[in-house]
Amino acid sequence: MGVCFVAGTMVRAQQAPAGKSFDLIEWNGGKFIYGADYYPEAWPESQWEKDAEMMQEAGINFVRMGEFAWVKMEPQEGRFDFAWLDRALKVLNAHGIRAVLGTPTAGPPAWLYTKHPDIAVMDANGVRYRFGSRRNYCLHNPDFRAATARIVTALAEHYKDHPGVIGWQIDNELSDPKCYDAISQAAFQAWCQRKFRALEALNAAWGTVFWGHTYHAWEEIPLPWNTLFNAYNPSLILDFDRFQSASTHDYLDFQAAILRKIAPRQAITENEMGMFQETDWYDLNHSLDFVGWDNYPMMYKDLTQYAIPGLAHDLMRGSKDNQNFMMMEEEGGLGGWATFIGRQVDPALYRVWAYQSVAHGADGVCYFRWRTSRYGTEQYWQGILDQDSYPNARYAMVRQAGRELQQLTPLLHGSKVVSVVALLNSPDSRWAFQNQPGVEDFQYDQQLQDFYDAFRRAGVSVDVAFPPSDLAAYRIVVAPALLVSDQALVDKLTAYVQSGGTLILTFRSGVKDENNVVTDRTLPGAFAALAGVAIHDFDPQMNEEQEIVGPGEARFPARCWSDILTPTTAKVLATYGRAYYAGKAAVTVNSAGKGRVYYVGTESRSPLFYDRLIALAARQSLVALNGQIPQGVEVAVRQKAGKKIIFVLNYTGMGKSVPLEQAYRNALTGKAEPLEVQIPPYEVKVLTEP
């Protein structure tokens, strides 16, 4: 059996020095990064000068280009043409606009598929795709690796000293697709061999005794392709998900190593996908200088639900230990492929979303895209401009925000989001639930979102932690539905509680070990002593079939799952209201060491339930809540030298008034704001301490 990595690909790229934060504003010559994703290759050169003028007029000083332009850069194997890109850069640079170039591997040329049809993805039914679409490649294919090395090397050599190129975006939204061909299978087998060393260890870890799936040779290990009755081994699938994430990382490192060697002066990033987490962002981002990500809030039905993109921002910030990040694609118009997504919004809302990114730690905002494409799949995905280049209302919005953000740069530079509350996002639990949700409509994201929303409604900043993150600074850590955990994570959470932290766990925690194997201890397994509860029975549910009674007389609808709790050392805060387990504990709190653990055995669609719960936890953990923020308005805070920069963001079409605890000054007008801040529809106010 052959190990199918191209020689050297498992070597990690040089990483940004530990502990050193990358300063995006400094990197951009002291300017707040403000830009658009630009595709000059799709427009006549005669239009470029006018584009650059309009960009400059709108305050744009940055573009991202090239991530799909492989065939323009290498029209034939080994023949490179960067002249068009040189000319585009020259025009842009003359208007003070610098670029991040995408390595163009997201769009491999047709000639590459003609020569190597096997670079295309094979699906889980064994069907090989053909040329078309994008990111249609198998990460381990040696021909694809060789072609990648050739184009990335040529691009880096050409632009390594170009003053107008300040960095690289590797590929575009690296992650799926998963490839199920023989090369991928061999790579998976090699990955398993490195992980388990001995086949007996793999057989034991995956419980292959079940249905007689025991392996006697590494070559027998299958991929989780579509099987009869859709039957699968959850342990194998979780390791395949980890393998896919590691392979994505390895492919990124493969490119990063070339770029760092040839062009060490330039920074490296990626455009990631927030809550779409087929890749472990925390792991991947070790190889990047800073996080870039793509934010499309219009995908959500209720646009006043600002906490949905809010959580994604905070997750992306947390994926590189809360270093400030960059919006590589910020919604600049209505989305849509075959049909438009949703309906058009007041253009002012795009500005509010841009400010939301900044409020959550973005030091750069780059809109997708400068102008809507005339061609291809994305004819209905609006850019700032429409195809006719008319300076429309969205352009006016971009120009306004561009001017404001340059004015605010000295204030924002060096400021950060600071939180005392964290949500723990576990890629292992997420992936395990993805394959085996337990209940049909269980949503791991919903578990995170319910608690996140409650804290945001109370005006509390939230960080998102990953299993390796340092938790010491947090007063409250919410680790919902921690289905899969290894001993290191159990030890970390135990130590956190012992030394005074408040931990909130929810149903399905402690069920499985790191191999996705169910524990034989009484649930919640490794967390039972810490939470002071035992679970001898549970009830999977579909709808609002249960009820939570308490704390006190309050009643809340409950759904999805009931862990029926038997307190061992915990105190009961709420019980179930219905079914044969009415009166049994649903929510408990337990003192452990210097801290405490809440265990929430069910889920509610009532925001009030979460408001009450976090209020209890906050009171005991000395976290101040500000519960008077009106619906559809967000208050978010960055801090600098102990002083607050407050963003008041109105996502609704109605004026609102927001009481603050002290009077602030408006950072844009310089004027004092009243204690009760008036915020017009779709408006933003940036406030500073006087």
Q: Does residue 196 contact residue 202 with C-beta atoms inside 8 Å?
A: yes
Strand 665-666 vs strand 684-688: parallel, antiparallel, or unpaired? antiparallel
- Residue 56: which residues within 8 A CB-CB, separation 6 or more? 95, 96, 97
Comparison of 251 and 368: residue with beta carbon closer to ligand GAL = 368
Distance (Å, whole) CA 265 – CA 502: 44
Comparison of 270 and 289: residue with beta carbon closer to ligand GAL = 270
3-state secondary structure of 425: coil
Q: Residue 256 has what DSSP assignment?
A: H
Comparison of 248 and 415: residue with beta carbon closer to ligand GAL = 248
Cβ of residue 329: shortest distance to ligand GAL, in angstroms? 6
Cβ of residue 635: shortest distance to ligand GAL, in angstroms? 29
Q: Does residue 471 contact residue 422 with C-beta atoms inside 8 Å?
A: yes
3-state secondary structure of 222: coil
Comparison of 294 and 603: residue with beta carbon closer to ligand GAL = 294
Q: Does residue 198 contact residue 16 with C-beta atoms inside 8 Å?
A: no
Cβ of residue 445: shortest distance to ligand GAL, in angstroms? 18
- The residue type found at 530 is L
Q: Of the candidates 294, 314, 331, 634, which one interacts with ligand GAL according to CB under 6 A?
A: 294
19-54 per-residue burial string, b: 16 or more CB within 10 A, e: under 16: eeebebbebbeebbbbbbbbbbbebeeeebeebbeb
Distance (Å, whole) CA 538 – CA 601: 9
Comparison of 208 and 285: residue with beta carbon closer to ligand GAL = 285
Q: Does residue 368 contact residue 330 with C-beta atoms inside 8 Å?
A: yes
Smallest CA-to-CA distance from 255 within 154, 120, 403, 399 is with: 154
Distance (Å, whole) CA 118 – CA 129: 9
Residues touching ligand GAL, count (CB under 6 A) = 8
The alpha carbon of residue 647 and the mean position of all alpha carbons in its chain are separated, in whole angstroms, by 22
The answer to the question of residue 266 lying near ligand GAL (CB under 6 A) is no
Residue written as tokens 């060491």?
593
Calculated CA dihedral for residues 433, 439, 444, 445, nearest 10 degrees: 130
Comparison of 368 and 581: residue with beta carbon closer to ligand GAL = 368
Site track for ligand GAL across 150-189, x = CB under 6 A: ----------------------xx----------------
Comparison of 291 and 478: residue with beta carbon closer to ligand GAL = 291
Comparison of 177 and 532: residue with beta carbon closer to ligand GAL = 177
Taken in order 447, 448, 453, 459, is the CA torsion positive or negative?
A: positive
Using CB under 6 A, which residues numbered 358 to 377 contact ligand GAL? 368
Cβ of residue 162: shortest distance to ligand GAL, in angstroms? 23
Cβ of residue 67: shortest distance to ligand GAL, in angstroms? 7
The answer to the question of residue 293 lying near ligand GAL (CB under 6 A) is no
Helix (H) or strand (E) holding 565: strand 555-567
Comparison of 133 and 543: residue with beta carbon closer to ligand GAL = 133
Distance (Å, whole) CA 542 – CA 526: 27
**Which residues carry out catalysis?**
173, 329
Distance (Å, whole) CA 537 – CA 579: 13
Cβ of residue 100: shortest distance to ligand GAL, in angstroms? 13
Quick count: other Cβ atoms within 10 Å of Cβ 592? 18
Cβ of residue 265: shortest distance to ligand GAL, in angstroms? 26
User: Bridge partners of 64?
Assistant: 37, 100
Distance (Å, whole) CA 679 – CA 683: 6
Cβ of residue 254: shortest distance to ligand GAL, in angstroms? 20
Smallest CA-to-CA distance from 599 within 503, 485, 492 is with: 503
Cβ of residue 300: shortest distance to ligand GAL, in angstroms? 15
3-state secondary structure of 506: strand
Comparison of 331 and 363: residue with beta carbon closer to ligand GAL = 331
Cβ of residue 327: shortest distance to ligand GAL, in angstroms? 12
Residue written as tokens 């690796």?
145
Q: Of the candidates 41, 118, 176, 378, which one interacts with ligand GAL according to CB under 6 A?
A: 378
Q: Of the candidates 381, 576, 598, 647, which one interacts with ligand GAL according to CB under 6 A?
A: 381
- Residue 359: which residues within 8 A CB-CB, separation 6 or more? 634, 636, 637, 638, 647, 649
Comparison of 271 and 449: residue with beta carbon closer to ligand GAL = 271
Distance (Å, whole) CA 564 – CA 479: 19
Structure token digits, residue 252 = 């990124």
- The residue type found at 103 is T
Cβ of residue 135: shortest distance to ligand GAL, in angstroms? 10
The answer to the question of residue 329 lying near ligand GAL (CB under 6 A) is yes
Taken in order 625, 628, 633, 638, is the CA torsion positive or negative?
A: negative
Q: Which residues bind ligand GAL (CB under 6 A)?
A: 172-173, 271, 294, 329, 368, 378, 381
